[in-house]
Amino acid sequence: MNGTNYGGTNQTTSKIAITLIEALNVSIDKYAFVTNSASYIALGGDGNEPVPGSEITYAVTFTNTGSVSAYNFTLSDPLDSSVEYLPGSMKYEEGAQATTLPADYTAATFACADGAADDALGDTYGIEGDASSGTSIVFSFDNAIPAGGSGTVYFKVYIK
């Protein structure tokens, strides 16, 4: 690795911003899963080493830990300039608290149709994902998340 930190493995390295409209108790964690090409691994590279050319899948988990429904909030995850969002890679799993990557990421509950701005992820919580700025990923929750409600939103980036 060249000394550049391309991604973290837990919430302590996260740059996630939460915009709150009402006071609420929501637990947020972020995990990173690095994937390298077979050719890189065949040359002796580590399959999980974040190097240029690697793909990182981020999993942002949330749980309403309060005793009332959570309304009107947004998660924003700024992208480092060394990565580029992979269009169409947003996924969502309701109720899931991902500390590992799903075995078949492409089969995760559903994906945005085309990776364009304001893609409705179509779940119970009315999550919309937006990557149009190119500098951050934004997830807006349009519907209430009941006490105990949880899920995981995923997206992928490519290390330049």
Handedness of CA 73, 136, 88, 58 (dihedral sign): negative
Does the residue 85 lie in any domain? yes
Does the residue 30 lie in any domain? yes
pLDDT tens, residue by residue, 64-117? 888 888 887 788 889 989 999 988 788 777 776 777 777 666 544 444 444 444
pLDDT band at 157 (very low <50, low <70, confident <90, very high): very high
pTM value is 0.74
CATH code where residue 95 lies: 2.60.40
Handedness of CA 85, 3, 48, 37 (dihedral sign): positive
**Residue 17's CB: how many other CB atoms inside 10 A?**
12
Does the residue 114 lie in any domain? yes
How confident is the model at residue 34, as a pLDDT?
A: 87
Does the residue 5 lie in any domain? no
Domain that holds residue 21: 11-159
Total number of domains constituting the chain: 1
